[in-house]
């Protein structure tokens, strides 16, 4: 790995350079995948030197993880809002479900990049992603659901981690499969993510058994 001298004269201010590097890396990783992207290509796209890139990020993998963490920032903000927003927990869960799905759909390239990497390199990437990218958001979501249980807003006996997995997993499945689902004659919500989220939350909150 190239070593960078501490006295390196940066061609741009640090915040500006970092933002350009992250933006360039995000686009290139999303377009071609991690393995196909070189640090030279990132530097060229960002309009900085390769040494400048290594000045801010010690390796391509460190830059990659930072791109993913930055992409997950919006989800973290949505979870914070779920925990501290106004309204009942049920109302906030419904809003969170829609915002989370919207976030996945709007950042489609990054969503596909993450899924592709996990499918191809799950055993290698799984622990790294859990500890450095997604873990804090997931733990925060579980903690909010557990607090809701303690307050009597959610049924006791449900594993909060299982509920968090269902919430997130249902949105990921919709993103992955909607191009197939749209061709099923009984499916009418592939172009209506808001409707999908509403029906999903109705099932999760009310169940599938008839009321006694």
pLDDT tens across 18-62, in order? 999 999 999 999 999 999 999 999 999 999 999 999 999 999 999
Domain hosting residue 151, numbered range? 72-206
pLDDT tens string 121-172: 888 899 999 999 999 999 999 999 999 999 999 999 999 999 999 999 999 9
What is residue 86's predicted lDDT score, i.e. its pLDDT? 87
Q: What is the pTM of this model?
A: 0.84
Q: Does residue 81 sit in the same domain as residue 61?
A: no
Q: Does residue 202 sit in the same domain as residue 151?
A: yes
If pLDDT is split at 50, 70 and 90, which confidence band does 13 have?
A: low
pLDDT tens string 64-85: 999 999 988 888 999 999 998 8
Q: Do 194 and 98 touch, CB atoms closer than 8 A?
A: yes
Q: Residue 156 falls within a domain, yes or no?
A: yes
Q: Is the pLDDT of residue 6 over 50?
A: no
Q: Is the pLDDT of residue 1 over 50?
A: no
Q: Does residue 97 sit in the same domain as residue 65?
A: no
Q: Does residue 80 sit in the same domain as residue 156?
A: yes
What is residue 14's predicted lDDT score, i.e. its pLDDT? 67
Outline where 57-186 has alpha helix (H): 60-71, 73-84, 89-106, 108-129, 135-150, 160-181
If pLDDT is split at 50, 70 and 90, which confidence band does 2 have?
A: very low
Sign, CA torsion 139/126/39/47: negative
With 0-12 / 13-18 / 19 or more C-beta atoms within 10 angstroms meaning exposed / middle / buried, residue 134 is middle
């Amino acid at each position: 790995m190239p070593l960078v001298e501490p006295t390196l004269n940066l061609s741009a201010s640090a915040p500006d350079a970092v933002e350009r590097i992250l933006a360039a890396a995000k686009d290139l990783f999303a377009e071609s995948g991690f393995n196909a992207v070189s640090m030279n290509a990132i530097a060229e796209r960002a309009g900085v030197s390769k040494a400048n890139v290594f000045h801010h990020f010690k390796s391509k993998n460190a830059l990659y993880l930072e791109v993913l963490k930055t992409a997950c920032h919006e989800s973290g903000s949505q979870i914070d809002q779920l925990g501290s927003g106004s309204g009942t927990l049920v109302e906030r869960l419904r809003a969170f479900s829609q915002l989370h799905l919207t976030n996945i759909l709007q950042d489609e390239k990054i969503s596909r990049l993450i899924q592709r990497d996990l499918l191809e390199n799950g055993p290698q990437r799984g622990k790294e992603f859990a500890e450095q990218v997604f873990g804090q958001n997931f733990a925060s979501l579980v903690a909010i659901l557990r607090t809701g249980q303690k307050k009597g807003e959610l049924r006791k006996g449900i594993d909060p981690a299982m509920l968090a997995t269902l919430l997130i997993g249902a949105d990921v499945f919709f993103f992955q499969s909607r191009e197939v689902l749209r061709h099923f004659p009984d499916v009418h919500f592939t172009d209506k993510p808001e409707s999908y989220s509403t029906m999903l939350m109705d099932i999760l909150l009310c169940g599938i058994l008839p009321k006694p």
